[in-house]
Structure 1
Amino acid sequence: MTYTIVHISTTDGHHPSYRDTFARLLAGEASTGAIFSRCFWRLLVKKNVLFATIDADYFGFVVIALLRALQGKSTTGIFLRALQCFRSERKIVYPIKRICFTLLCKVPRLKILSIIPHSLHPELKEVSHDWIYDPQMWDLWITGQPVLPDTDLSREVEAKKGDRKVLIFIGEGNKIKGFHEFLLQAERNLENFLIVVAGTVANEFKIPACSLKNKGVIIVDRYVTENEILSLYKVADLAWCKYATNYDQASGVFGRALQTGVSPIVREGSLIDRMLKQSPRIQTQEMYEKSMAAITTTNR
């Protein structure tokens, strides 16, 4: 199956990377924007549509998917937070989400794909038709060994690290990313590691982050470009992926660390810990081929 549009509803985080990867591989038109906007009619009428991520606007995705199904048109959606359907907290939203996606799996010509292998969480078969590997576990190797860029940020790290190893924290510094624990670990390891934080720091952590900055930690408290992020993997030894227990999901930071030979620091027993133990037996090419096969197979 070929796609005419590859859509995302937000440019936060790794959404644009997913869009660009699949638009390139599937020769589809890259589309970005709120579903209930100028995008609506294009998403409704095109022959085959891939939502590179559906999590930014579940309601919009459901509306488009159902209307397209009534027209006999194929729609595929990549589901990042499928595990939330099985969360045990006393919040009505999670069982509603589970019921909704269970019903969606019965809609003809609609395919929902988890980025978490069903072998690790078999219950996901209830809310998704199939699964793919997180694209950020294989996207850099599509055309061969990746050549990572140099940036002013990576050059600064190279100049300051000396004999120390480099530990990077990428993304928003907040509770769910385990930033409090990261700061404690950074404080204890300043002699042996050059610590780099690349991403906006949450307000509650700005004071301790500033204190560490005064001790030589590199804090880049702003939006960080894709090139800057990739350049950090070129100079890093370890990447922080030890997230909060209630944030147990796939991680782009983890995937990119695997692709670039950087050692991820993970929480024992977490999803990405189990993926780490599985990944040495799986080649990047296998991840790519399995993922593309799932996306390009039409769901009748």
Structure 2
Amino acid sequence: MRAHARRARHEEDEESAFVSMTDMTVGFLFIMMILLAFFASQARETSTVPTSLYDDMVKQRDEQKARAESQAEKIRVLEEEIAALKSEIEEKDEEIADLREKLDRLKIADPLEEYLSQVAVARREVLERLRDAILVDFPDLKVELSEESDALRFQGEGLFASNSPKLTPEKSAIVSKLAERLDEILPCFTIGAASRFDVKCNPSFAMVEAVQIEGHTDTMGSDRRNRNLSAARANNTFFAMTKAADRVMQHQNLKGQPVLSVAAYGPDRPVTTNDTPEGRSTNRRIDLRFIMVTPPDTDAISGIRSALKAGGGQP
């Protein structure tokens, strides 16, 4: 009996020990599951930030976006301005090209205009030579070139006594010398028996149509008296010149007419005011005006050149 009781107790003890080991194992596994769950929760990445930092980032983002939009608008405006400027540049380039074309056409000188320009220069040079030659002989004489550079002007007191159409002996010497100087110059610019054309003295082939002795007065006195006085002074100058140098009438224009002629204008063509003594003195004058042949076209220029060459014995 005792042996049976001891065996039964031993079996109970073994069974109790097995139950205890099972409970411990289950508890250990439970604890391990809790620990694994804890470590797993700790290992997760957090995606949360402070609210203030988030707000600052959003504000900076909005500011950057606004600046970017503003810059984009400025770029758009500048691109439009650039396009407009390119269009203007193209228009200006077209205008420049057009102006250059016109300039190139202008550079091709018109033969007639070029000839007339050379004739104007030649006339001025002739008048200057004539003026300077007279002043060498009579340095106190009041003689000047007209504003248009087409005439020499002698003040009335320079050639005539006041209110007189007659040349005094002293003034006659001036007119005589003027005729001699004129006779030296005209042969190169006229045709006729006295013509002495040479391309050296007249490279532009300018030709004189007329050399007018013009009488002018101021407005003092009656119109009839002034016209008669201006005509008398011009005629007396003409006769004094032809007497001093009779060959001066041999110088002819393209029509075969003597170039020396007379005109009287009375008070009609003043060069300054008649309201002062000085002005009236200037208006009382004799003008020696050079009128040049003006060809209507280039063919006429050839005719002038041929006539001058033939008159001067040039081939």
Q: TM-score higher than 0.5 here? A: no
Structure showing greater radius of gyration is: 2
Q: Which category of TM-score, normalised to the shorter sequence, fits these structures?
A: under 0.3
TM-score, length-scaled by structure 2: 0.25
Between Structure 1 and Structure 2, the one with more strand by share is 1
Between Structure 1 and Structure 2, the one with more helix by share is 2
